[in-house]
A = this chain, B = another copy of it.
Amino acid sequence: MAKDFSTREENYSKWYNDIVQRAGLAENSAVRGCMVIKPYGYAIWEKMQGALDKMFKDTGHSNAYFPIFIPKSFFSKEAAHVEGFAKECAVVTHYRLKNSPDGGIVVDETAKLEEELIIRPTSETIIWDTYRNWIQSYRDLPILVNQWANVVRWEMRTRMFLRTAEFLWQEGHTAHATEQEALEETHQMLNVYADFAENFMALPVLKGTKSVNERFAGALETFCIEALMQDGKALQAGTSHFLGQNFAKAFDVKFANDKGTLDYVWATSWGVSTRLIGALIMAHSDDHGLVLPPKLAPTQVVIIPIYKNEEQCQSVCAKARELKERLERKGLLVKLDDRDTHKPGWKFNEYEFKGVPVRIAIGPRDIQNETVEIARRDTLEKNTYQMADLENKVAHLLDAIQENMFQKALSFRENNTHKADTWKEFQDIIANKGGFVSAHWDGSAETEQQIKEATKATIRCIPLDAAKEEGRCVFSGKPSSQRVVFAQAY
């Protein structure tokens, strides 16, 4: 481990930033709070997009695109929504610049918009204004649409991937004839997100609902997936909102049911963002750098030839190319780094730091023995493999790494989930252990707020699978019928 790179123990926050920057994932830009997503970070996002987009389409959704601008007046139409987003909106007021007498350029004050435009922090308002024209009768329903887009929320404290003023995401917006169908959609998409988190990101998640305090502005119910990071803090990894008829009422979207009666349309919305890349880093990476699950790694296998002279180079590199082709025919994403501008040791460190799941080294002795040396990134183990049938061995190894990463993260979460039955226990766990705290809560927003003020912990979710259990609120002592999950969170 290079000296200029922090360990998790030394400085978790610096460790995170070091990984983001040194692995070439992202960097801060000249614009406050906005990041540049660099090619390697964007390649991970493309892998995420590819997997999610297929899951959305397999469940009947289509993509579309709505304007980035939202007329200011649209925001006022749903009261809770404007309350939730008005404080962090980027506002476009003019549409022209002009030369200034001093040689620079200035805003042309004559080109002022009659109504200011908000850059979308989320698109419910502009989309429901559009859906009004798409929906007349039950035959026009359901509408199952998703959008891949950039959004802007003017956050004051930003952190790459986790919280940035502009970020990339997808937002699904569906319209239904019945409450039940909308609720089923909300659940379905929550399950899609949990499936993606667990099977692609190797990230175990809790599924639950949010308390009123943490609910999406405009939703009747917010469902979420919550993951635990290595510093014991929680991270909300995705949300699926049951919006009821709130936006249909705000934008007057009615449909005639099969009896000809007019009713408001039922709605859902759901989203995940580039924040997932932050979750991926914080859940799996170690003091040697990034660790990527094979299913989301832009490069799954790197092959590094080792040679001392031109003669060795020829035979070793020819064999390395042959192996690359064999692995690629198996469908694996392989990079052969045969550059002679860098030494093997430098390359080993580089790909280890970038989290490539499998590294294959091949030298002159390997050619003689028909072997290769394989290092797996998750455990850092090295083993010698016979070249015969290597493509299948490597494919199995990648599966094993994917599974091991999930199991490791699951064990971590289990070891860092504690029950608290008294306020003292609760405070002690939050202060000294971190992680998820399973505790009784009296169901009131006031209690949640007081717990937050005392410990910085919030209710991450009311788990969907929680057993009914009579108990007393850890803070107020009032009766409670099930435990909820608290944690400090990103």
Contact = CB atoms under 8 A, between A and B. Distances in A.
Contacts of A388: none
B36 A64 contact: yes
A66 B126 contact: no
A215 B97 CA distance: 21
A489 interface: no
Task: Tell me if A's interface is mostly helix, strand, loop or mixed.
Answer: mixed
Interface in A72-114: 72-76, 82, 86-99, 103-105, 107
Contacts of A64: 36-39, 41-42
Interface string A370-387: 000000000000000000
A72 B150 contact: no
16 contacts: A27-B133, A30-B67, A30-B126, A35-B67, A36-B66, A37-B66, A45-B65, A75-B105, A76-B103, A86-B98, A89-B95, A91-B93, A91-B95, A91-B97, A97-B118, A150-B150
Contact of A69 (B62, B75, B88, B166): B166
A34 interface: yes
A43 interface: yes
A154 interface: yes
Interface string A132-143: 010000010000
Contacts of A35: 67
A441 to B, nearest CB: 31
Interface of A: 27, 29-31, 34-39, 41-43, 45-46, 62-76, 82, 86-99, 103-105, 107, 116-119, 126, 129-130, 133, 139, 145, 149-150, 152, 154, 166, 168, 341
A64 B88 CA distance: 26
A63 B49 CA distance: 13
Copies of the polypeptide in the assembly? 2
A87 B68 CA distance: 20
A27 B67 CA distance: 11
Contacts of A31: 67, 69-71, 117, 126
A86 B96 contact: yes
Contacts of A41: 64
A68 B126 contact: no
Contacts of A116: 107
Contacts of A37: 64-66
Given A39-B145, A72-B97, A91-B107, 16 more contacts: A27-B133, A29-B66, A29-B126, A34-B68, A35-B67, A36-B64, A36-B130, A37-B64, A37-B66, A38-B64, A39-B63, A69-B166, A75-B97, A90-B94, A96-B154, A150-B150
B63 A43 contact: yes
B95 A92 contact: no
A166 B105 contact: no
A298 to B, nearest CB: 9
A96 B130 CA distance: 25
Nearest to A145: B39
A86 B97 contact: yes
A66 to B, nearest CB: 5
